[in-house]
């Protein structure tokens, strides 16, 4: 059966309400059957490894997904070796699900950097990018790939800022789902 699938790749360290709002806004706007969250195993654009373990990041993504049935935690990037290049992941997904239509969901910050992505032309043949504005970023693609704009709230939330707030003891817990906030506290993450 053909499905319309949204894909959200990221380090998700931690996954936050901004990620969830972006995913849900895309799901509704594009009439997606599901949104697959794809935690990176080895993000090629990050200089250092994640702050938390792979298991902790996966647990947090699964917590967000279990609260909303159309969200699915897909661990395809953990089932292969090497850096988590988007083109490689998308080729595998397209091979496994040749009749699905894939939409790669990103924020305005990623739109500004698309021209730097490895094999961006190949990626553009496999997906349509779906993007929403993010404060502080132009959100103007510098490359010609299939793209659709999603109208939605422009949120300035980042995992980096959340980690810093947890460490400083100033976190506004509404930036996280309740279960993820509890998990972070119970496991003393980011302190």
Average pLDDT, the chain: 91
Identify the top-confidence range among 86-100, 108-122, 126-140, 144-158.
86-100
CATH class of 4-155: alpha beta
Give the span between the Cα atoms of 182 and 188, in whole angstroms. Answer: 10
Tell me what pLDDT residue 32 has.
Answer: 98
> For the chain, what is the HEC assignment?
CCCEEEEEEECCCCCCHHHHHHHHHHHHHCCCCEEEEEECCCCCCCCCCCCCCHHHHHHHHHHHHHCCCCEEECCHHHCCCCCCCHHHHHHHHHHHCCCCEEEEEEEHHHHHHHHHCCCHHHHHHHCEEEEECCCCCCCCCCCCCCEEECCCCCCCCCHHHHHHHHHHCCCCHHHCCHHHHHHHHHCCCCC
Instruction: Quick: pLDDT tens for 31-50.
Output: 999 999 999 987 776 666 66
pTM of the model: 0.92
Please provide residue 147's backbone torsions phi and psi, each rounded to the nearest 5 degrees: -150, 140
Pairing relationship of beta strands 147-149 and 71-73 according to DSSP bridges: unpaired
Q: What are 96's two structure tokens?
A: 């496994």
In the numeric block, the tokens 């009749």 are attached to 99
Instruction: Quick: pLDDT tens for 64-90.
Output: 999 898 999 999 999 888 888 999 999
In the numeric block, the tokens 């506290």 are attached to 185
Give the span between the Cα atoms of 99 and 157, in whole angstroms. Answer: 34
In the numeric block, the tokens 């500004």 are attached to 112
């Amino acid at each position: 059966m053909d499905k319309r699938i949204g894909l959200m790749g990221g380090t998700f360290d931690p996954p936050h309400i901004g990620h969830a709002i972006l995913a849900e806004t895309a799901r509704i706007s594009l009439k997606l059957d599901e949104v697959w969250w794809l935690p990176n195993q080895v993000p090629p654009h990050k200089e250092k490894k994640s702050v938390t373990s792979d298991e902790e990041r996966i647990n947090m993504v699964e917590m967000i997904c279990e609260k909303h049935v159309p969200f699915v935690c897909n661990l395809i990037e953990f089932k292969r070796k090497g850096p988590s290049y988007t083109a490689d992941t998308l080729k595998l997904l397209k091979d496994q699900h040749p009749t699905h239509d894939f939409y790669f969901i990103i924020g305005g910050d990623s739109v500004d950097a698309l021209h730097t992505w490895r094999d961006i032309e190949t990626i553009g043949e496999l997906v349509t990018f779906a993007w929403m504005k993010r404060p502080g970023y132009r959100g103007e693609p510098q490359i010609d790939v299939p793209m659709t704009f999603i109208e939605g709230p422009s949120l300035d939330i980042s995992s980096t800022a959340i980690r810093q707030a947890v460490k400083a003891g100033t976190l506004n817990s509404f930036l996280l789902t309740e279960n993820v906030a509890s998990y972070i506290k119970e496991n003393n993450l980011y302190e």
